[in-house]
A and B are shown apart, each in its own frame.
Chain A
């Protein structure tokens, strides 16, 4: 299940400093090693700056809030 894959990967990166550093320096290598589907890989690539460098969350993607 792709949702679970994302959730588990986020948790691993949050708790594993070595993985976090590797993700910051060579995200492609990490993503390839994890064997994600192209769809999940695209999502993880978007998450990398937030996971690896603790960047602020991007502005809301969507505007259907009203």
Chain B
């Protein structure tokens, strides 16, 4: 289960809030260099749900735990502090806010590329969203380069930038494959490809958040790799969890809304939204494999719509199982890391395992 604040009462909420404030203060200083008109839009993006500058959600939602804003930079910061408790706050927070800017920039690009009408897209429109994304990518670099002022070894700065570039190329490759997959039939798509795309997208970004924290905290190559793997496994698990829950809730909400659409020249029953857009998420691809097997067996007298719904439900359960598998693997990586030193309750809470 997701950690709830009550489960994580071992750690101080005020300690987490203090870390957030350090990050916010560093982020505001970074943004102060922008022209006020651009700064206004960048601030709007950074105030989006879950982002570091977002307002706390006061709505009570029993399905979602109460979460700190800015979990990505917090992860980087807490890993750096775990490895190097006396690390200079300016150094660690600069690297951490670089992660926040980077993740926000990629999120904005995703919104546009996936044609999502998110609040920021509706508020400022696509041209400004793209410009804000460019600014945030530049701020990412500026934040990392700023650590030179803390007399950080240039070799470390190059390692940080290398990790950032590696992630950028991996994530954009994953996004490109994801976009191209929209026009491919799910039947010609393997579940291995789905995992590869999840790994390249969500996996590489969480890998980066962990790796930058590890580099910043002075970890050697082996420990950096362990933290990177931990992040990647959790990123994949997170993506699969999202995919199966999105589809699950869609099915719950649309019990009688299975609609016929034309796909690949044949009538195919489908669900709205993601399915219509042709996103090849793992539960959808697994459902197609199941449908193919059922049609081959021709043993069901159910209508196609009902069979497809059943196949989707099975795909959702299988995907959730695979998500749990990745979390188990992440837990094992964490145990390897904790052989040297147990992580703080705050970090454990953020990792969610």
Contact = CB atoms under 8 A, between A and B. Distances in A.
Contacts of B245: 57, 60
Given A3-B191, A6-B325, A47 B320 contact: yes
B237 interface: yes
Contact of A47 (B63, B202, B317): B317
Contact of B49 (A44, A57, A61, A66): A66
A10 B321 contact: yes
Interface string B301-326: 00000000010001011101111110
Interface size class on chain B is 35 or more
B103 to A, nearest CB: 10
B241 interface: yes
A63 B67 contact: yes
A11 B310 CA distance: 11
Contacts of B286: 7
A62 B237 contact: yes
B244 interface: yes
Interface residues of A, number: 26
Nearest to B286: A7
Prevailing SS type, chain A contact patch: helix
Nearest to A65: B242
Interface string B277-311: 00000000010001001000000000000000010
B259 interface: no
Interface of A: 2-3, 6-7, 10-11, 14, 39-40, 42-44, 46-47, 50-51, 57-66
Contacts of B318: 6-7, 10-11
Between A10, A11, A51, A60, the greatest number of chain B beta carbons within 10 A of the residue's beta carbon is seen for: A60
A39 B329 CA distance: 8
B1 A43 contact: no
B45 interface: no
Interface of B: 1-2, 48-51, 62-65, 67, 71, 191, 195, 202, 206, 234-235, 237-238, 241-242, 244-245, 248, 286, 290, 293, 310, 314, 316-318, 320-325, 327-329, 332, 352
Given A10-B314, A66-B50, A60 B64 contact: yes
B54 to A, nearest CB: 8
Nearest to A47: B321
Contacts of A14: 310, 314, 317
A2 B237 CA distance: 14
Contacts of A6: 318, 321-322, 325
A65 B240 CA distance: 11
Given A47-B317, A63-B67, 6 more contacts: A39-B329, A40-B325, A59-B2, A60-B64, A64-B352, A66-B48
A57 B64 contact: no
A44 B321 contact: yes
A26 B304 CA distance: 33
A57 B244 contact: yes
